[in-house]
Chains A and B, each alone.
Chain A
């Protein structure tokens, strides 16, 4: 205690501690602003409709359940669960499509040396930068001529045909990182490509597959433009369209239920995010690096 060095040591560790406190205060301040809308929607879903805009309180003074129970009535005769089932169907089909078709394609790019591979790979990457809108109209005309509008087919066809280049790219990057010795050994053991793909490469690519699956699920769940263009009967609407319909018909009068349904619609996304955020964030990070 009497040693001369003590005050020096203490002041250094104190400085470090103040630095750490300042860091946390700063980070929490930014976080409060960023998460404000999320907390707001939770609070608002328990407020009476008339208070939602007008009251400044983040949380309701007297929480009410009316907004949620109001959802049971559905939207112009269609039950809320129908929108959720449609969205779920869309999202699950999209996930299956992306995982199967993109992993097959990625295996070819990463593990098979075939003529024209580099050219095709460049084309695939090129589609990443292509504005989606140039394809929107001819694709609509195509699916209309095939009489497939107002079904899920136009929404998921591209997923089964590996047109989501981002996921192919993610999986190629991942598969290229796997030790080459593994598939060479499999080849010497007499495994064909199908066997190598299924029993060796696919299990090892699991993190990339999970990342793609979760991203696909969330994107399909949030998708707005696709359903807006292709679906026309309200019974087939996804949650996004159901919400829009709700707003157009009930407007400001039933603000509470609209906010409550918004919250319920976010729950799957937030739940997926909480469960898999590690994969998602690492997947996002690798996409920006080589």
Chain B
């Protein structure tokens, strides 16, 4: 243990006295660094950067996997923008993102506020609420969802009690997307846990002082808790909306394998999958993928720009 105390920062004079050793040491550190991260570098070049360049190239070609790619300029993009199914997929995806993300975050925040109170069995509740987040991606749950939302099953019968007779949601093009929204909201555990961690940072004294001053729970939440958790809220909004743009499995499994009926759940990636892997239109699919990248980058940029207006970082206070 004494060793720890005796490890001083090397005096500045000594370093200049032995510049050669320092340079050699630095070179050795560089080498060690690059050796340790060589898996990541290989992965980045082979599976990320390389494919990105390739897909950018494919986006401007006609490519069916069997004959070499043929340069077509902006053809894929102009065809895409005029394609009614592509337009439909954009509409379906935007609807999904705009409805599912806020509802999911609202539920996550609500339950997090509930669990932030010190009560017995807190850990057990937290674990139980988190579980759907892990199993929700499974095909098994997709089947369960299909069963719950089909004609004459629990959802259908429950809504009949309230006098709504729309039948099961799975077969109804107007409703089937909302069964996917429900599946997404059901997996509110991950953002909930992040909210909970954020709520722990709220200073108790501040909260209690506000209570003494007669601030109600709503006011305390709005004026004290919300500013403190705003960075966490920002993180959750960013992550959940990016995820929502990329939904695939649930649309493929819950609605039928063609993302229907009547293209009602034709989310963007489902159409991309159909174009690329069913119709072997790799160029078109790549153009779709890049359009998605640009859309996600725009959403990210807008969110980052907006955070100046509503996200409070602690640095200002310190």
Contacts and interface: CB of A to CB of B under 8 A. Distances in A.
Interface of A: 20, 23-24, 26-27, 30-31, 34-35, 37-38, 40-41, 44, 52-54, 56, 100-101, 104-105, 107-109, 112-115, 117, 120, 123-124, 127, 129-142, 144, 157-158, 160-163, 168, 181, 184-185, 188-189, 192-193, 197, 218-219, 221-222, 224-225, 228-229, 239-240, 243-244, 247-248, 255, 258-259, 261-263, 265-266, 269-270, 273, 277-278, 280-281, 284-289
Contact of A26 (B34, B114, B141, B198): B114
Given A133-B289, A185-B7, A285-B193, A265 B48 contact: no
A107 B58 CA distance: 36
A222 B138 contact: yes
A214 to B, nearest CB: 9
A143 to B, nearest CB: 10
Describe A's contact surface by its main secondary structure. helix
A52 B125 CA distance: 29
Contacts, number: 277
Interface in B244-259: 245-246, 248-249, 252-253, 257
Interface string B124-164: 01111111101101111101110110111110010000000
Describe B's contact surface by its main secondary structure. helix
Given A135-B55, A163-B44, A263 B140 contact: yes
Contacts of B114: 23, 26-27, 30
A237 to B, nearest CB: 11
B265 to A, nearest CB: 15
A119 to B, nearest CB: 12
B46 A161 contact: yes
B180 interface: no
B96 to A, nearest CB: 15
B132 A161 contact: no
Interface of B: 3-4, 7, 26, 29-30, 32-34, 36-37, 39-44, 46-48, 50-52, 54-55, 58, 65, 111, 114-115, 117, 119-121, 123, 125-132, 134-135, 137-141, 143-145, 147-148, 150-154, 157, 186, 190, 193-194, 196-198, 232, 235-236, 242, 245-246, 248-249, 252-253, 257, 269, 272-273, 276-277, 282, 285-286, 289-290, 292-293, 296, 300
